[in-house]
Amino acid sequence: MKNKLAIIIPAYKACFFREVLDSIVRQSNRDFTVYIGDDASPDDLESIVSDYKDKLDIFYFRFEQNWGGRDLVAHWERCIKLSDEPLVWLFSDDDLMPPDAVERVMKTWRKSGECDAVFRFPLAIVDSYGKLKYTNPPFEAERISGSDFLLDKLSGKISSAACEYVFTRDVWKKTGGFVRFPLAWCSDDATWAKFADYTAGIISLPGTPVYWRNAEDKNISNSTRFDREKLKATGLFLKWIGMNYRLNLRESRFQDALVTYVNVILECSVRGNYSLKDLVCLYAILRRLSPNVASRVLRSHILKAKLFI
């Protein structure tokens, strides 16, 4: 009988890969197949996978061209297409899942009638050594709307990472797949909101969290090499919000959340590495969403912007 869940790992780095696979081996429910999409990695990922052939139902495929460096969303989607199970978990080559993770997914999906759905685990963030850095607050509801998810994310109430979400293949197909931004920066957040709107909300999976590894110089989030792309993707994300959540933009709490979000991008994500031109571009986008938000952001950062880059 075919398994119900596809655990998809778009793989590139070998440094934490065994830890990831070990966390999957420990699953109490085995109703899954693991798919490894090797993004033309310089590391020998295949030899690592071979050590797990007797421990997991695992499929390995090496792509000859690296797509993650230029279109990460395209790489995610070609990896998903390796599989055909009704449930999809887009995981990572350096994150960790708790032993009962698959069991919680399957139990909740059966309870929902195995209908179109998107699920979310609690999230915790660890460093390169597995030391806990941050844990999201507990879930407040069994289900959350797309707009409320965005409000939590934009306001800084929660962190969000792709590895904490599981979704049905039909939702992915019927909604047109992932929202596409450069580096996949903001793509996952926009996608979960879109999936939530289609399925009437993100369903919570309370319990032990999934661990997202935020390792220095190992991922895009804390690298300074991609600041231009991050700023471009942020602008596209803001435009996407404007197109899909126009009514929410009238709410003061949503406006406050947008101000907070852009401030975090400029001060933390790109660490002040933005020009006056970058700031003006963001201002122009924000002004179409909310003149109030645009003016607040401009006042906060106009004196900090670099005249030349």
pLDDT tens figures, 150-203: 999 999 999 999 999 999 999 999 999 999 999 999 999 999 999 999 999 999
Residue 226 has a pLDDT of 83
| Least confident among 8-22, 203-217, 232-246 | 203-217
Confidence of residue 108 (pLDDT cuts 50, 70, 90): very high
Q: How far is 91 from 93, CA to CA, in rounded Å?
A: 7
Averaged pLDDT of the chain: 94
Q: What is the pLDDT of residues 2-58, one digit of tens each?
A: 899 999 999 999 999 999 999 999 999 999 999 999 999 999 999 999 999 999 999
CA dihedral 9, 11, 13, 17 (to 10 degrees): 40
Q: What is the pLDDT of residue 308?
A: 52
Average pLDDT over residues 249-254: 96
Per-residue confidence (pLDDT) for residue 215, from 0 to 100: 78
pLDDT at residue 304, as a whole number: 82
Tell the CATH topology of 5-213: Spore Coat Polysaccharide Biosynthesis Protein SpsA; Chain A (3.90.550)
pLDDT above 90 covers what percent of the chain? 91
Q: Is pLDDT above 60 for 114? A: yes
% of the chain residues with pLDDT over 70: 96
Entry pTM: 0.94
pLDDT attached to residue 183 = 92
End-to-end CA distance of the chain: 58
What does the pLDDT average to over 279-304? Answer: 94
Residue 306's pLDDT band, with cuts at 50, 70 and 90, is confident
CA distances from 148 to 34, 155, 262 (A): 32, 10, 18
Quote the tokens at residue 304: 């900090």
Per the model's pLDDT, the better-predicted residue between 20 and 309 turns out to be 20
DSSP E strand boundaries for 214-302: none
Domain with CATH 3.90.550.10 in the chain: 5-213
pLDDT at residue 211, rounded to an integer: 97
